[in-house]
C-alpha cells in the first residue's frame, strides 16, 4: 500500500507488480450467506484490470470470482491456502501471460458496455 495517489499515478505505480490482490473480503465471522462479501466488487478490481494485473481473490468473493473466471484473468484461493501462495504462483506461471492477454478482451467488453450506455444516454 503506497498511500493516496491520483488514479493515473496509481495505475502507473501498481503496474510494476505481477498480480493484484483482493483478499480483504474473507468471511472471518463465518456468517452463512454473507451477501456483502459474496456480492462485493470493489473499484480496486477495475484498477488492477486497467493496470493489466491478473487478480488473486479469496474463494468467498463470488462476484469477483465470476468476473475473473469469465475472462480467465486471475484465480481464487481458499483462506487456508494463503501460506501456499508462492507455490500456487509458481504453478500458474505458464498461464500468466495468457491471463494478461485476456485482460485486453475484458477491457474491450467493458468498453462495449460503456459505449452502449453512452448510446442510450444520447437518445434520451
Residue 4 has pLDDT above 60, yes or no: yes
Q: Which of 56, 45, 50 shows the shortest CA–CA distance to 13? A: 50
Q: Which three cell numbers stand for residue 101?
A: 492477454
Cα separation, 52 vs 41, whole angstroms: 17
Planar angle of CA 62, 109, 15, nearest 5 degrees = 75
Q: With b meaning 16 or more CB within 10 Å and e meaning fewer, what string describes 36-59?
A: ebeebbeebbebbbbbbbbbbbbe
pLDDT in tens, 53-97: 999 998 888 889 999 999 999 999 988 888 899 999 999 899 999
Q: Which of 46, 62, 49, 56 shows the shortest CA–CA distance to 91? A: 56
| Cα torsion angle, 112, 63, 86, 7, sign | positive
Lowest mean pLDDT among 30-34, 41-45, 88-92, 93-97: 30-34
Q: What is the pTM of this model?
A: 0.80
Amino acid at each position: 500500500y503506497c498511500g493516496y495517489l491520483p488514479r493515473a499515478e496509481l495505475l502507473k505505480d501498481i503496474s510494476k507488480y505481477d498480480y493484484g490482490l483482493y483478499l480483504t473480503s474473507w468471511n472471518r465471522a463465518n456468517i452463512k450467506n454473507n451477501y456483502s462479501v459474496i456480492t462485493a466488487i470493489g473499484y480496486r478490481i477495475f484498477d488492477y484490470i486497467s493496470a493489466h494485473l491478473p487478480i488473486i481473490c479469496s474463494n468467498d468473493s463470488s462476484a469477483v470470482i465470476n468476473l475473473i473466471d469469465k475472462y480467465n484473468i486471475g484465480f481464487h484461493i481458499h483462506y487456508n491456502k494463503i501460506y501456499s501462495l508462492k507455490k500456487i504462483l509458481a504453478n500458474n506461471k505458464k498461464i500468466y501471460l495468457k491471463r494478461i492477454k485476456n485482460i485486453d478482451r475484458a477491457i474491450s467488453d467493458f468498453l462495449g458496455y460503456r459505449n452502449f450506455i453512452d448510446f442510450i444516454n444520447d437518445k434520451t
